[in-house]
Amino acid sequence: MTAQTHEGRVAVVTGAAGGFGQAFCVGLAERGADIVAVDIDDSSETVALVEKLGRRAMAFGADLADPSSVSDLGERVRAEFGRCDILVNNAGIYPNRPFDEMDYEFWRRIQAVNLDSQFLMTKAVVGLMKQNGWGRIVNITSNSITLAVHGVTHYLASKMGVIGFTRGLATDLAGFGITVNAVGPTLTPSRAWDVRGLPAALVEATVQKQAIKRPGEVSDVVGIIAFLSSDDAAFITGQTIMADGGLARL
């Protein structure tokens, strides 16, 4: 195997202002990649962390559910970097709401941010991958698709859609030297369980069902993203990896 290096690569990461997205930006930069940090919120902290590592970084504010905003991002990446080698479709939202309380507008917003954005982002940058005959796309789904949790019908639908999108896209892009895979992290303590409406008792009950008896951490996922984005993963495509301590043994 080769050393996992991303020297000379440009990585575009969505949901990059904090949490998983910020960690993915830093992890890829540590391995040599320049970073485009995309978020509707301010990503200046992420940019500063990447630049401390000696890598080039750019923040781009975008509503990823807005096709024109995403198209502008693609043009900016082309103008500023001239290439995109890695795309990590991480952005997502998780408002807990029972089905009876949902209206169609709410449903569509969840699908737009969690699933449609991955389509739009891929369309925006895949041409840059094709021109170099090399690309890595990693789509973030969720291990929650394997769980029985109330109030997340909208979220589960969007994250199952990510898996279908990943499988189909992997076939369509394989001839261009582009791989497409998905990663399903578990929620972690650092992602504010209480904000997401998940009580501590549920967290502990979930941990006890895992093969590895501890909560997940953001760092548990960074290495998977780095691997799938590397030359070492050239023969892996269309796959979904659940990074959840063995909770989902599919």
What is the per-residue pLDDT across 22-51, written as a single tens digit (0 to 9) for each?
A: 999 999 999 999 999 999 999 999 999 999
CATH 3.40.50.720 fits 10-241, yes or no: yes
pLDDT band at 192 (very low <50, low <70, confident <90, very high): very low
The pTM of the whole model exceeds 0.85? yes
Residue type (1 letter), 221: V
Residue 195: the pLDDT is: 37
Q: How far apart are CA 16 and CA 180, in angstroms?
A: 20
Q: Is 104 marked active-site?
A: no
Q: Which strands form 135-140's sheet, in the order they lie side by side?
A: 57-61, 34-39, 10-14, 86-89, 135-140, 178-185, 240-243
Task: Answer with the residue of higher pLDDT: 172 or 192.
Answer: 172
User: Is the CB of residue 182 less than 8 Å from the CB of residue 163?
Assistant: yes
Task: Answer with the residue of higher pLDDT: 72 or 218.
Answer: 72
Q: Which of 155, 182, 185, 248 is catalytic?
A: 155
pLDDT band at 198 (very low <50, low <70, confident <90, very high): low
Residue 194: the pLDDT is: 39
